[in-house]
Amino acid sequence: MKKVLVVDDSDIIRNQVIRALSPAGFEIVEAVDGAAGLVTARANTDLAIIVLDVNMPIMGGIEMLERLKEDQRTAAIPVLLLTTEGQEALIARAKKAGAKGWMVKPVKPEMLLKAVQGLARA
């Protein structure tokens, strides 16, 4: 079973992601902000992918992504950003930091599932 870390400060969004991915056989691990997500990612180095919100308290998603890529234990985990932001500068920063994908909320569950299946590590 492939494990997915979902990092979002919104319970509603985390639950939507879980409902989209769980029936397809993904095991879900959750975190409510980037700082908690970083700790969770380092504790679960068998993650197939991280689905990450951009705007969160304590530590935002792009900062978390940059820190993940600096850490040998988590650098290879693909990251899909899920956000309300569509700004080119943010997208460019995320790509430079190593994001594998960017989806603007609200996301259709079937599109999210397809993206996660395509990006997840074996």
Q: Are 25 and 118 in contact (CB under 8 A)?
A: no
Provide the CATH number for the domain around residue 30: 3.40.50.2300
pLDDT higher than 80, residue 85:
no
Average pLDDT over residues 64-84: 95
Average pLDDT over residues 41-62: 96
Rounded CA-CA distance 98/82 in Å is 14
User: pTM for this one?
Assistant: 0.95
pLDDT digits (tens, 9 = 90+) for 53-73: 999 999 999 999 999 999 999
DSSP state of 63: H
Tally of domains within the chain: 1
Q: Where are the alpha helices (DSSP H) in 30-85?
A: 34-43, 61-70
User: What token pair was written down for 50?
Assistant: 């991280």
Domain ranges, residue 69: 3-119
